[in-house]
A = this chain, B = another copy of it.
Amino acid sequence: MKISDLVARSGVPLATVKFYIREGMLAPGHPVGARRSEYDDTHLGRLQLIRALTAVAGVPLSRAKEVLSIIDDGNGDIYEILSRTIQALSPTDAEHPHEHHPHATWAITQLGKDYAASDESMAAYSQLDESLRAAEEAGLPIGAERLRLYGDQIMTIARAEVGGMPADPREAASYAALGTVIAEPVLASLRRLAHQNLAAGLDQG
């Protein structure tokens, strides 16, 4: 397809498409003449991925580029791809990289063997620590029982998600990136709806 068709089908403006090409985030078209390049479905898919990450999920451009380069590497086993993708998408603990994470360490002990492979180098580890500390400081500490309930329900969700992951490493990386950022707001909005539905039930009961 021509670049104008790519623009029309993706909904991404021409200037933005050209910017992504200059930044190395999108491959240039295949030249088919002195003044024309041809684009295909790979370009379209890539544009959708970039838009999903940046416009929909609000991932900063620098992090989106990191994720795209993990996808383009396309080597490493699925574990490494998943780890690197989640790591690239996570807010980093840059200010205090060597800090201890007592809340997360306590939590991982409580959660037992399903979470035993968690380690302090994972960005999600310090995120968990930070959010548990915030809950405690706000006067709503999350106790062991509540935490185990969270851990069990979330593990059931994660098993279904990881089970659906494509075997091809490049597709797996793309799937992991989208799955991480796309499903989070689905789960968050379902939780808010669940609260409101339960409250409506209390109201009637």
Contacts and interface: CB of A to CB of B under 8 A. Distances in A.
Contact of A179 (B140, B149, B161, B197): B140
A197 B116 contact: yes
B186 A124 contact: no
Contacts of A78: 199, 202-203
A71 to B, nearest CB: 13
A83 B135 CA distance: 21
Contact of A202 (B79, B125, B192): B79
Range of interface residues on A (Cβ < 8 Å): 35 or more
Given A127-B188, A150-B187, A180 B161 contact: no
Contact of A191 (B56, B137, B154, B198): B154
Contact of A52 (B124, B134, B149): B134
Interface of A: 45, 48-49, 51-52, 56-57, 77-79, 82-83, 86, 90, 114-118, 122-125, 127-128, 130-132, 134-135, 137-140, 142, 146, 149-151, 153-162, 164, 175-176, 178-180, 182-203
